[in-house]
Amino acid sequence: MSFFTSSTIFSTHEQIKEALYKIQSLDSKEREIVYQTLLAKLGDGGVTAEELKKVANELRQSGQISEIDKKNLLALIK
């Protein structure tokens, strides 16, 4: 059990879509990959800041998004 709880960034698929469309560095293929990955995390009460960081890092390390895309995704955490 964790004593630190990360804040929820997204609680609906609409919020994810809206945020991703604001990131102009993502092309349609990358946007879909990020969307599907975050959508899978949504079922556990929303996407937290920690989950968003993890997804951005994993997608960058696997070469599915660029460093700029990663930076822009992390900027969604306020």
Asked if the model's pLDDT at residue 64 lies above 90, the reply is yes
Specify burial of residue 17 (Cβ count, 10 A radius: 0-12, 13-18, 19+). Answer: middle
pLDDT bucket at 1, cuts 50 / 70 / 90: very low
pLDDT value of position 43 = 81
Specify the DSSP class assigned to residue 53: H
Map residue 52 onto helix, strand or coil: helix
- State pLDDT tens for residues 16-55: 999 999 999 999 999 999 999 999 999 878 999 999 999 9
pLDDT bucket at 78, cuts 50 / 70 / 90: confident
CA distance 74 to 44: 20
